[in-house]
Amino acid sequence: MCISYAHFIIFNIIQGTSNSGTQCHYDVANNIIVQLYGTKRIRCYPPSMGVYNLHVFPDNHPKARKSQVDFDYNVSKHNNDDTINRFPHYYQNIPQPALDVTLQPGDALQIPAFWFHHVENGYSNSNMNEGSPSVSLNSFSLSKPMMIAQQIFQKASNPMGRRINKDQVPAILRALGITLLQKLDIDEITTGKEMDFIQTYLLKARYTSLNMIGDSNTTSNHTLYILTDEQNQAKNTCIDKIIPDFHLLIKGEVDGDNQDDGTGIALLVVLHLFELWAVELVGTKSVAKAWDQALLSDDGTF
């Protein structure tokens, strides 16, 4: 059991009754689970699936870092189109886990930071009702991706300063978002489609399913503010400071520590940063509306 960058380790005893579980989520720390009693089924998904398929709750939500999708909901049994329509990224192409394992007493599993995992306690392959309570020891340790992400948030905080007029916010968010995604040069995001990515995987994936965007007609007549030369310089300075950190995440190799799916981790951090910028500019209650306005072009269309 080797834990790199472990400046501290937290141990928790986790107890769960049979048929209980933990909603699919990710931790920013490295996690090792040692099963002590009973069984525990764990399904693991790479970070990129969290971005593209799992409809993660917004950062300012009490369930931040968790998937909005109920993995135990039987769509075929309930035939509920509303549920399918709320979570199209999941139900249109239900992702298969990278790992699906049932831990027995004495088994251990290491889950890297930013990897999603869904937990079912007292799982029995034959009949869930025959399962027993589950007890496990969890250890959490600092991860290098988490430390890099913290550096990114610190460097990129309030890139334009604190005196911003309300009518400037959409243009500032748009400029920051497009520039960051362009300079990351990620294959999955086609040049010229940066705002499509933000609309699909920030707004639609995280906010539309919670009805948090509101009436789009309120922004239909919005005219985009044009950034000043000084603001453009501040934007570029901000992005240039954090690009090297993002490249460390994307490469997935930091001081000999190999992280699978570095691009997925980087994109999760990107979405965190998009929300952070909006919170700093408009507050926690207006994040979705601010980005909705940022998606509008000068003539009020996408």
Per-position pLDDT tens, the chain of length 302: 333 444 567 888 888 888 888 999 999 999 999 999 999 999 999 999 999 999 999 999 999 999 999 887 765 555 667 888 889 999 888 889 999 999 999 999 999 999 999 999 987 665 544 568 999 999 999 999 999 999 999 999 999 987 788 889 999 999 999 999 999 999 888 888 999 999 999 999 999 989 877 554 444 445 668 899 999 999 999 999 999 999 999 987 544 455 679 999 999 999 999 999 999 999 999 999 999 999 985 433 33
Q: What is the pLDDT of residue 51?
A: 97
Identify the CA nearest to 39 among candidates 62, 59, 16. 16
HSE toward the beta carbon, residue 115, CA cutoff 13 A = 22
Q: Are 20 and 135 in contact (CB under 8 A)?
A: no
pTM (predicted TM-score): 0.88
Q: What is the pLDDT of residue 19?
A: 81
Q: Are 43 and 99 in contact (CB under 8 A)?
A: yes
Q: What is the pLDDT of residue 255?
A: 46
d(CA 162, CA 70): 39
CA distances to 6, 45, 52, 188, 196 from 48, in Å: 25, 8, 6, 11, 17
Burial class (CB in 10 A: 0-12, 13-18, 19+), 36: middle
Amino acid at 60: N
CA-based max dimension of the chain: 67
Amino acid at 176: L
d(CA 268, CA 248): 14
User: Could you write out the three-class secondary structure of 169-207?
Assistant: HHHHHHHHHHHHHHHHCCCCCCCCCHHHHHHHHHHHHHH
Q: What is the pLDDT of residue 302?
A: 35
Q: Are 12 and 138 in contact (CB under 8 A)?
A: yes
Q: What is the pLDDT of residue 72?
A: 78
Cross-sheet strand order for the sheet of 40-45: 21-26, 116-121, 40-45, 99-103
User: Which SS3 state, helix, strand or coil, does residue 112 take?
Assistant: coil
Please give the backbone phi and psi of residue 195, each rounded to the nearest 5 degrees, phi first. -70, -25
